[in-house]
């Protein structure tokens, strides 16, 4: 497949991190078009596209945790202890993903036999977490034909509302499910959301309500209720799922590294790139 084209269109999708799109007119979309909500099924994308989750969060059924767990995409579902919660067979549970062309991307992924991508029955690029260590990326995304670790590229940019002010660190950073007061979490004593202008919302807290964070997975905990089969927040499946909720910085797709083809790094890994939370720190003379 044309990896240069794939990474270029993913980069083009960064222009709108907050907007979900639903097309009703004939448009010549790129192979990876825009953000979508996989839970909407066939209504999530235009004809010829599938809404593919970009969230690799996984639950370890042996350890009853989601923290530090990598999805075992390479194993058959019956042979896994680390089950994907929002991708592959659970793609429809996810509330965040990308519209991917069934002809120019998915058909080629299905024909790829190197284990990098999800199986043909799922028909989607393999999700990964851009904040993982290189060894974790290697474990999930594999290596290219010269032995280099493949890339894990973030699909959309952080929105300013995806940031929180962490009083313990005295800086702005991306929010995550570990900031929720659930299960064994211990959120910072002072943790405030920010509004769309970047201003701290005084006396606010992280609650994951719909609209709080532009790119959040599972607003209101609805995706976790489906995954756990209960809305009991004391149930281990529910609160461990909630702990794994994320915003855009922890979601992406595996891409084959191709230095000769100009794909040696991800678009948002540029040294000059500043994300929304980093910009807030620069504006306020802070640093995490």
Within a 13 Å sphere around the CA of 15, how many CA atoms are in the beta-carbon half? 8
Region of 110 (left: φ > 0; alpha: ψ -120 to 50; beta: rest) is alpha
**What is the model's pTM?**
0.87
- For residues 7-17, one letter each, b for 16 or more C-beta atoms within 10 angstroms of the residue's C-beta and e for the rest, the string is bbbbeebeeeb
pLDDT over threshold 70, residue 179: yes
Does the pLDDT at position 260 exceed 50?
yes
CB 245 within 8 A of CB 238: no
**58 and 82 in contact (C-beta within 8 Å)?**
yes
The CA distance from 54 to 247, in Å, is 11
The per-residue pLDDT for range 7-58, each reduced to its tens digit, is 344 444 333 333 333 333 444 556 777 899 999 998 999 888 889 999 999 9
Place of tokens 């992406």: 252
Indicate the pLDDT class of residue 225, thresholds 50, 70 and 90: very high
pLDDT at 82: 94
pLDDT value of residue 215: 97
Residues forming beta bridges with residue 83, ordered by sequence position = 59
Residue 227 has pLDDT above 90, yes or no: yes
Domain residues of the chain, as ranges?
Answer: 3-156+248-274, 160-243
Q: Which residues of 270-280 are buried (b: 16+ CB within 10 A; e: fewer)?
A: eeeeebbbbeb
For the stretch 118-167, pLDDT in tens is 554 567 888 999 999 999 999 999 888 899 999 999 999 999 999 999 99
Closest CA to 6 of 52, 56, 55: 52
Asked if pLDDT for residue 169 goes beyond 70, the answer is yes
To 5 degrees, how large is the angle CA 237–CA 152–CA 269? 125
Of the pLDDT bands very low, low, confident and very high (cuts 50, 70, 90), residue 247 is very high
CA–CA distance, 277 with 285 (Å, rounded to integer): 12
Q: Which residue has the higher pLDDT, 187 or 101?
A: 187
DSSP 223: H
For the chain, the average pLDDT equals 85
Residues 265, 243, 267: CA angle, nearest 5 degrees: 15
Look at residue 34 and give its three-state secondary structure: strand
Listed in order, strand segments (DSSP E) in 54-92 are 58-60, 82-84
The reported pLDDT for the residue numbered 166 is 98
Separation between Cα atoms, residue 288 and residue 172, nearest integer Å: 7
How far is Cα 100 from Cα 121, in angstroms, rounded to an integer? 15
């Amino acid at each position: 497949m044309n990896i240069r084209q794939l990474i270029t269109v993913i980069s083009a999708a960064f222009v709108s991190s907050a907007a979900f799109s639903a097309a009703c007119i004939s448009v010549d979309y790129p192979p990876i078009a825009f953000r979508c909500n996989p839970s909407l099924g066939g209504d999530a994308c235009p004809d010829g596209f599938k809404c593919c989750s970009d969230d690799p969060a996984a639950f370890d059924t042996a350890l009853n945790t989601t923290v530090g767990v990598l999805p075992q995409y390479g194993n058959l579902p019956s042979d896994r202890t680390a089950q994907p919660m929002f991708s592959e067979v659970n793609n429809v549970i996810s509330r965040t993903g990308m519209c991917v062309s069934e002809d120019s991307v998915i058909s080629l992924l299905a024909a790829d036999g190197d284990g990098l991508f999800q199986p043909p029955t799922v028909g989607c690029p393999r999700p990964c977490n851009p904040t993982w260590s290189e060894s974790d990326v290697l474990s999930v995304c594999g290596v290219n034909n010269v032995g280099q670790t493949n890339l894990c590229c973030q699909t959309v940019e952080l929105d300013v509302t995806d940031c929180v002010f962490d009083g313990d660190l005295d800086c702005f950073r991306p929010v995550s499910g570990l900031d929720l007061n659930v299960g064994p979490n211990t959120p910072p004593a002072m943790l405030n959301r920010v509004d769309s202008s970047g201003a701290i919302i005084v006396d606010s807290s992280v609650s994951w309500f719909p609209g709080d964070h532009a790119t959040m997975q599972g607003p209101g905990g609805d995706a976790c209720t489906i995954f756990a089969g209960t809305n009991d927040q004391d149930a281990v499946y529910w609160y461990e799922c909630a702990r794994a909720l994320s915003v855009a910085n922890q979601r992406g797709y595996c891409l084959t590294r191709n230095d000769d083809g100009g794909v040696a790094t991800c678009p948002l890994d540029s040294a000059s790139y500043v994300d929304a939370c980093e910009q807030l720190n620069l504006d306020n003379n802070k640093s995490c």
